[in-house]
Amino acid sequence: MRRILIVGNWKMHLNASQASLLVHRLSERIKIHRDIEVVLAPSMLLIQPLSLQIDRRKFRLAAQNAYFKDEGAYTGEVSFTMLQELVHYALIGHSERRHVFNENLGLIRDKVAASVRNNITPILCVGETKDEKQAKETSRVLHDQLISALSDLTANEVSAMVIAYEPVWAISNGANYANHEVAKPDEVAKAVQVIRHNIFELYGKKASEEVRVLYGGSSNSQNARAYLEIDGVDGLLPGGASLNYHEFSAMVNAADKMLNDRKGIDE
């Protein structure tokens, strides 16, 4: 069974004391879950101190980015090798990396390979822009992003990784968080089907069934359950909502409640 994954992307927010307080508040509200993994993606600067603070039975850490070379003369960069033992996961290909920092398909492919090589599970973010959606190019964009990002991996490596469907038009920029265009569950369901179908064609049935697929884009405690109920969705990747401990812990609780309701139905 695929474990539910809730990943909070803090982006370039929170200084050390704010982050420490947020972890403290989350720890008070989130219990140890067997079937749910809760992952925090703080800024690079905070990964090391938070790795000492977190209760590892409750939380895991993710990097928001890293460089694909293991070491060398790359001023200002941090490698996946340096992050080993500090993080379990790394976000790769987030739309802000693609569109603000102009990361291209080749760089994203190299980062995915470097992450796997260094035993860090990639969370590969894919998704179409508003223009691409309007031009009905969503399936083509997802196909192109997947085929290139995964091209250095084996089927087993793909099975073990995570893919996040994040339509660019549904991601908030902080300022518009409360009042933002959101993806309808049936739109997410279609895109997730396309993602799993591509994995099936490229890497076979086992990989298409085992790879975890998340949804991200203005998710919050109000809509969490609706997204989590979608067939083929294994979790959420909230940005704005992950900075608020009430919101983020309520999203984890929504996942827990859904699992408990399902158990109740099976019994």
Question: Is 166 an active-site residue?
Answer: yes
Single residue of 239, 245, 251, 252 touching ligand PEP by CB under 6 A: 239
What is the spatial distance between Cα 83 and Cα 152, in angstroms, rounded to a whole number?
Answer: 21
Q: Nearer to ligand PEP by C-beta: 208 or 218?
A: 218
Nearest to 238 by CA among 260, 221, 253: 221
Answer for which of 37, 128, 157, 166 binds ligand PEP (CB under 6 A) is: 166
Q: Between residues 48 and 173, which has the closer beta carbon with respect to ligand PEP?
A: 173
Q: Does the protein bind ligand PEP through residue 127 (CB under 6 A)? A: no
Q: Is 6 in the site for ligand PEP (CB under 6 A)?
A: no
Question: Which 8-state DSSP code applies to residue 3?
Answer: P
Q: Which of the following is catalytic: 88, 94, 128, 157?
A: 94
The only residue of 38, 63, 171, 199 in contact with ligand PEP, by rule CB under 6 A? 171
User: Contact with ligand PEP (CB under 6 A): which of 6, 9, 88, 251?
Assistant: 9
Is 143 in the active site?
no
The interface region with ligand PEP, picked from 55-63, 130-138, 147-155, 213-221 by CB under 6 A, is 213-221
Are 124 and 163 in contact, with CB atoms under 8 Å apart?
yes
Q: Is 223 an interacting residue with respect to ligand PEP (CB under 6 A)?
A: no
Provide the Cα torsion 132, 227, 215, 243; round to 10°.
Answer: 120
Contact stretch for ligand PEP (CB under 6 A) within 15-23, 137-145, 164-172, 187-195: 164-172
Binding of ligand PEP at residue 217 (CB under 6 A)?
Answer: yes
**CA dist., res. 186 & res. 138, Å (int):** 14
**Which helix (H) or strand (E) segment is 9 a member of?**
strand 4-9
CB of 22 to ligand PEP, least distance (A): 15
Give exposure, 232-260, as e/b (b: 16+ Cβ within 10 Å).
bbbbbbbbbbbbbbebbbbbbbbbbebbe
Residue 147 has φ and ψ, to the nearest 5°, of -60, -40
- Is there binding between residue 238 and ligand PEP (CB under 6 A)? yes
CB of 9 to ligand PEP, least distance (A): 4
Neighbours of 40 (CB within 10 A): 26
**Cβ closest to ligand PEP, residue 75 vs residue 102:** 102
Residue with token string 């069974």: 1
CA distances for 154 relative to 57, 88, 125, angstroms: 30, 19, 19
Out of 138, 172, 221, 244, the residue judged to bind ligand PEP by CB under 6 A: 172
Among 177, 185, 206, 257, binds ligand PEP (CB under 6 A): 177
Pick between residue 157 and residue 166 the one whose CB is nearest to ligand PEP.
166
Q: How far is CA 167 from CA 103, 129, 139, 235, in A?
A: 17, 6, 12, 15
Nearest approach in angstroms of CB 219 to ligand PEP is: 6
According to CB under 6 A, which one of 219, 221, 223, 249 is a site residue for ligand PEP?
A: 219
